Amino acid sequence: MIQLTTLYHLAKAANWPAIQWDGLHSASTLLDLAGLTGEDRERLEKHGLRA
């Protein structure tokens, strides 16, 4: 197994003002804030937006 010494979170430049204002959130936290529950949330957590 490879041991990482550094890990970066990537975000689009257009999101930088929101990240500066509110901080960087995990995908699960963003789904909580959006109020997503049930099958829609499960699909997004399992497959992402490309599903």
Helix 27-34 vs helix 38-47: crossing angle, to nearest 10: 160
The sign of the CA dihedral 8, 40, 22, 25 is negative
Alpha-helical runs (H) found in 1-51:
16-22, 27-34, 38-47
Distance between CA 1 and CA 26 in Å, rounded?
25
Q: Is residue 42 part of a domain?
A: yes
Residue numbers of the domain that contains 30: 26-50
27, 26, 22, 33: which is closest to 49 by C-alpha? 27
Residue 39 pLDDT class (50, 70, 90 cuts): very high
Q: Is residue 15 part of a domain?
A: no
Q: Is residue 2 part of a domain?
A: no
Q: Please give the tally of structural domains in the chain.
A: 1
Is pLDDT above 80 for 50? Answer: no
Q: Is residue 46 part of a domain?
A: yes
Q: Is residue 36 part of a domain?
A: yes
Residue 35 pLDDT class (50, 70, 90 cuts): very high
Q: What is the pLDDT of residues 16-31, one digit of tens each?
A: 999 999 999 988 898 9
